[in-house]
Each structure stands twice: as structure tokens, then as C-alpha cells.
Amino acid sequence: QKEVEQNSGPLSVPEGAIASLNCTYSDRGSQSFFWYRQYSGKSPELIMFIYSNGDKEDGRFTAQLNKASQYVSLLIRDSQPSDSATYLCAVPIYNFNKFYFGSGTKLNVKP
């Protein structure tokens, strides 16, 4: 079992819809979780992180964490074509010095 798993997609949603991206992790001791966005041919950039159970909102983005079920999700409200990218889930381990990344979910937002 991989440390971090994501559905590779592609996930296609119409413009204005809610996109839901999911990530599961295997280490019950994991404490914080990061979502990165990566446009084609570019490097990853941080969208948001979460370390408490429940929801964390930042603009159109909401991260949801459920430690009991070992999953973290990212919701994108009012999806825009500019949100079309690959979204990577990352989990730090070993005193936060080492990270495992999921394989990423490709999101397509259709105008």
C-alpha cells in the first residue's frame, strides 16, 4: 500500500461547479496535510494545508480532514477553467523533514 493515494482522474467538472478531490494516507500518526497545485509543465505550488480535524476554508478552496478515516479532501467551489491542473496531496513524516506525495489528480474544468 502506498503511503498516500489519490485517484489519478481526470476529473471533469463544468465551470461553476464544485470539484471534489480526495486523498487517503496510511500512517495514522500523520499530523498535517498539504495540497499543491501543478499546472502542466510547471512546478508545484502550495494551495493550502490542514492539521486539525474538520474544515479549513481559504477563498474558493476548502480542505477537509478526517483523521479517523485517514482521508483528506479538497473542495473547489465555483470552479474556473484556470483551476484546470493536477492537484497533489502531500504528507510530511519524520519530524516534518520528509514528505510523501500522492500521484496527483488531474482536474479539467470545462467552460
What residues line the site for another protein (CB under 8 A)? 6, 8, 31-32, 34, 42-46, 49, 51, 88, 90, 92, 94-104
Nearer to another protein, 7 or 17 (CB): 7
Nearer to another protein, 13 or 49 (CB): 49
User: How far is residue 99's CA from residue 83's CA, in Å, rounded to a whole number?
Assistant: 24
Nearer to another protein, 8 or 66 (CB): 8
Query: How buried is 65 (Cβ within 10 angstroms: 0-12 exposed, 13-18 middle, 19+ buried)?
Result: buried
Tell me the three cell numbers of residue 32.
Answer: 498535517
